[in-house]
Structure 1
């Protein structure tokens, strides 16, 4: 880990304060002096002055150019909390977020990045394009939801509809998470409608020179927005079932539908940069395979394992993961465990495989347009296998009705073992069982979706909190002082101290909308016990 965390955060705040608003609490007036500012005539031609801000917004949904920020924005948060990965490094003498002793300087990068590099760029484009360039306006709406639903799923309430709206007391109001989700749905609906109107008449694509994912293809952006709408609909299905069904069915039955093939996977091209995980894993040696991933992938004899990780013992092909939240005496103790396989220079944020699993779950609830749950489930697995050129192994895998996640054994410390018969081990098999109860079908769907979404730990963590699946191993060491119960896992990240220092009244009103105190044990609005 980069040791200059505090300095980096201060620099982010200071530099952003010169041009774009940070943390939504100061310098909103300076938006009018944005260096991207332009006159209407400048929008003509190549559209660079409104395209470039959206490039920056896309590159910061998952930070690509400052790995020290990515490590705290995503890797030592969602990637670990999801069970995908674990660090071999005993940061802060094992008293850190991994052992539930939440550190203020670990909690702020996701927030500061969103409000320093995503929200201001999207707002700028939307302000300049409103009523003039509806396609760019719609594109900014989708990018904003892509980024901000992830932030809401980390902290809960966020500053979204009230962004840049300063109260008389200089505070800024948050949206409750319910209000934020309603706004996400409204933005997606608006964007889908706008872009759909462009498709039949578009003679040239103005996104092309700035689109880091779909090469300016309007239809693929519509499909992504529909998939995102379905994702968020299922996320609120326990707390707002009527709204969830309405939004989910709108996505499923929209003219262009959701993602369905691997060429429609939403990945952000960051070349010539390498994926931040390559640096964190191979240059810094700060991340390795998680124990839960070892249990599921090895237990299922899942051929994707070699696409995800490298054997700890290359001679015998043995994969080893580290259990989350354990006592680590030194970095050397676990550095020899399985590294991540080399990641491409593309950030994966939504795949067609995920879309099929979303559709499978929607089918469990008989949502119109969802089709058959088993068919969708199996297509989800097939699509994931195809993504990694493993189609030939699909038939054997999908028919496996005996293999289950394997017990975990830590050769360094048996205290961390998860033996056979443990309540933390799942009995879920791969093969679909038509007459199984709904909860068992849901476990199969979410478990396979969890495997397929790798390495996006943020989304996997959200789905684990929502459903309780897949079954993950709880931490061994819990330094939360009782704030985060070990067996219910961490549920959210507290609001950042910068907000408490500069927007106290706003934060206090946001905390009042939570289900409890501002700590890691309080469940989000959609997170129903």
Structure 2
């Protein structure tokens, strides 16, 4: 990481969000319009409300400032998902990446969500609710997309009680179950607003606010339905009745789901450099993850050069070479010449049509109404991902019945064989690509989620969540575990603890939130509500 930037993180973040206050104190200040405009001003010019919603869209996956994004997502979900790993031995090689969760790192996910998503959505939603319901619907969809990611990192969050302080100034959290039920309720409201107007021309305000679909109600409805299905499957292991109800409602809606790459939820960040390009090329702080090398390389996947570049290290030159998580790294020079990420355009990818097809495949596997055929959906998901990268027909690929993830060998490990995952390792999957209708349900699920994981790249937060929910794709455990026995090496990291600034400003509420966890321990090894221990 750029340490000078990191030391100034608080100042940079504050400037980026116009000096918003903490979500758990000074509530009158935080809920004043951050641009200093009155409601009358807003009625005269939609630009301020539109700017708030644009800010919220760009902050779900923060594109600026880059040091904050690096902490919000890259050194968290992007690495825990297996997509990426850093060559940099931050903090003497004791940090998030080997399970010494650093408060100064993990707080970025919390503060960014409340400063730059929850607050502007709250203000824009309140202004729009009665006068511009379609814009209110947008604010609710953005809010759910952002805050479910925060809940999937921490568990309980402040959601339904946002801006509702208690007499002592604290603000209560929702348990993760209550937060998810709130997400479903807010999505239903938005879907009910957009469904009857899906084919109408968009309003001026909606069009100005939209950084994804150019003001299309129909596309936002597809996204909302797909998000509802995503969250329904997220809770299927703990609340199957609610999961089925919400999932089938999403599948039955007349607006449909994301279907083709033209439907992908990509936030336009203009001419600004994608934050991963900066971290990857300018700072040399992120590289390909070892599981990506194993899975994509083993499958001879044509998306491999779309995602990564070949290594230039003499030991592995000309190969796609990833770094294993949680290993002994003495200096940056050891692995920095392993595979970089391929360059990204100025669009932030948060959901794809490929994911939607894989969601439908799993829903069909669970016999949900209107889900269609699991095999057809599975193959359509692979094809949609190929189409996204202009790779032509995927038929040869998805009919391959022999390729499996490849063993991982690290020729530069400090201790010989320390980092290797050989054939026969319990962490090396043997799943093939071709659909097998006669396979056991669990094998079918692994096949779906493994291909879904490939297609969702580089969205590491979602990939990490799906790994925790399903155990797929099989990933490699850390070699060095610096968690002080708070995270199991073989069970992997399940969440992160609440930031110290939340303890300082809202401590009583934090303690009540911890009591709702599966274990009353605010540590990285505690399973979330939707992620029950098996």
Which bracket does the TM-score occupy, shorter chain normalised? over 0.9
1:71-90 correspondence to structure 2 within 5 Å: 71-90=70-89
Instruction: Work out whether 1:329 is the aligned partner of 2:330.
Output: yes
1:323-472 alignment, distance < 5 Å: 323-392=324-393, 394-413=394-413, 414-472=417-475
Change (3 A) 1:421 1:17: closer
Q: Give CA deviations for 1:107-162 in whole Å, capped at 9, x if unaligned.
A: 10010101111111000011212211111111100000010000000000000000
Aligned to 2:511: 508
Larger mean Cα displacement after TM superposition, 311-320 or 176-185: 311-320
The answer for the alignment partner of 1:523 in structure 2 is 527
User: Which residue is 2:487 aligned to?
Assistant: 484
Change (3 A) 1:68 1:32: closer
1:503 match: secondary structure = helix
Aligned equivalents of 2:263 and 2:18: distance in 1? 38
- Once the two structures are TM-superposed, the CA of residue 198 in structure 1 deviates from its matched residue by 2.6
Structure-1 residue corresponding to 2:123: 124
Post-superposition shift, 1:8?
3.1
Any residues of structure 2 matched to 1:179-258 within 5 Å, and which? 179-202=178-201, 204-258=203-257
Question: Displacement, 1:396?
Answer: 1.4
Q: Distance in 2 between matches of 1:150 and 1:203?
A: 28
Paired residue total: 527
Deviation at 1:6, TM superposition (A): 6.0
Preserved CA contact (<8 Å) 1:258 1:355: yes
- RMSD between aligned alpha carbons? 1.7
- 1:289 deviates by 0.4
Cα distance, 1:31 vs structure 2: 3.9
Cα drift, residue 210 of structure 1: 2.6
Q: In the alignment, is the contact (CA less than 8 A) between 1:17 and 1:27 conserved in 2?
A: no
Shift of 1:316: 6.6
SS in 1 for 2:267: strand
SS at match of 1:267: strand
Larger mean CA deviation between 122-131 and 468-477 belongs to 122-131
Going from structure 1 to structure 2, the CA distance change for 1:416 and 1:194 (only over 3 Å counts) comes to: same
DSSP 3-state at the match of 1:513: coil
Distance 1:283 1:504, change over 3 A: same
Deviation at 1:527, TM superposition (A): 0.4
Distance, in Å, in 2 between the alignment partners of 1:32 and 1:231 is: 30
> Structure 2 unaligned runs (5+)?
none
Alpha-carbon distance in structure 2 between the residues aligned to 1:410 and 1:65: 34
SS of 1:431's equivalent?
coil
8 Å contact from structure 1 (residues 269, 346) kept in 2: yes
Note if contact 1:62-1:347 (Cα within 8 Å) is conserved in structure 2.
Answer: yes
Cα-to-partner distance string for 1:14-62 (whole Å, 9 max, x where unaligned): 668975342x211111145434354555444652121110011111111
**Secondary structure at 1:36 match in 2:** coil
In 1: Cα distance, 2:380 partner to 2:291 partner: 24
SS of residue in 2 equivalent to 1:374? helix
Whether the 8 Å CA contact 1:5–1:105 is kept in 2: the answer is no
- CA apart distance, 1:2: 2.1
Distance 2:192 2:6 in 1: 43
Counterpart secondary structure, 2:60? coil
Q: Measure the CA separation in 2 of the matches of 1:31 and 1:340.
A: 38
Partners of 1:272 and 1:79 in 2: how far apart? 23
For each residue in 1:261-289, what CA deviation from the matched residue of structure 2 results, as whole angstroms up to 9, or x when unmatched? 10000011112111101110111111000
Query: 8 Å contact 2:202–2:216 — kept in the other structure?
Result: no
8 Å CA contact 2:311, 2:319 repeated in 1: yes
Q: 1:218 deviation in Å?
A: 0.7
**Alignment check: 8 A CA contact 1:443 1:470 kept:** yes
Listed one character per residue, the Cα deviations across residues 436-467 of structure 1 (whole Å, up to 9, x for unaligned) are: 00000000000000000000000000000000
Cα distance in 2 for residues equivalent to 1:17 and 1:407: 45
In structure 2, the CA distance between the partners of 1:32 and 1:429, relative to structure 1 (3 Å rule), is closer
Report the Cα distance in structure 2 between the residues aligned to 1:321 and 1:417, rounded to whole angstroms. 12
Q: TM-score, normalised by structure 2?
A: 0.96
Cα distance, 1:420–1:182 mapped onto 2, change above 3 Å? same
Contact 1:20 1:34 in 2 (8 A): no
Greater CA drift, 283-292 or 122-131: 122-131
Alpha carbons of structure 1 residues 333 and 17: separation in structure 2 relative to 1, 3 Å: closer
Could you tell me whether the CA contact under 8 Å between 1:16 and 1:116 is conserved in 2?
no
- The answer as to whether partners of 1:85 and 1:289 remain within 8 angstroms in 2 is yes
- Give 3-state SS (helix, strand or coil) of 2:3's partner: coil
Show CA shifts across 1:337-381 (max 9, x none).
000001111110000000000000000110001000000000000
Q: TM-score, normalised by structure 1?
A: 0.97
1: CA distance, partners of 2:357 / 2:198: 24
Cα distance in 1 between the residues matched to 2:182 and 2:326: 36
With over 3 angstroms needed to count, the CA separation of the structure-2 counterparts of 1:133 and 1:334, relative to structure 1, is: same
- Contact 1:267 1:348 (8 Å CA) reproduced: yes
* SS of the residue 1:49 aligns to: helix
Alignment-derived partner of residue 53 in structure 1: 52
Higher mean C-alpha deviation, range 313-322 or range 377-386? 313-322
Relative to structure 1, the CA distance from residue 510 to residue 5 in structure 2 (aligned partners, 3 Å threshold; closer, same or farther) is: farther
